[in-house]
Amino acid sequence: MVKVKNLHNTGDRKPKNYTSWKEFWKAKKGYWPNDCSAYDCNGPADVGAHVKKVDSYDNKWYIVPLCSGCNKRTDTFEVSEGRLVPVNDND
């Protein structure tokens, strides 16, 4: 598990080659999960959300499948590291 928090004000940032960040994540991973990636949540995975790791030197942005509720969270929550797909400048 890795602690992350939502990045806000990322609505203007669209993937260059995909219609949404959900499609971006699906293309990188080859599937889309049923469940929200937040460890303490049982909601459905609705969106590809922008997050960043907390308590880490790693300042990269990542996309992770979250429910619409968790996409609005302002607290820190835990997700499985395998659910994180990094976003680069050319994505």
Q: Between residues 35 and 81, which has the closer beta carbon with respect to Zn ion? A: 35
Residue with tokens 């460890």: 39
Instruction: Indicate the residue among 44 and 91 with the shorter CB distance to Zn ion.
Output: 44
Output 26 or 91, the one with its CB closest to Zn ion.
26
What residues from 26 to 85 belong to the interface with Zn ion (CB under 5 A)? 36, 38, 41, 43, 67, 70
Binding site for Zn ion (CB under 5 A): 36, 38, 41, 43, 67, 70
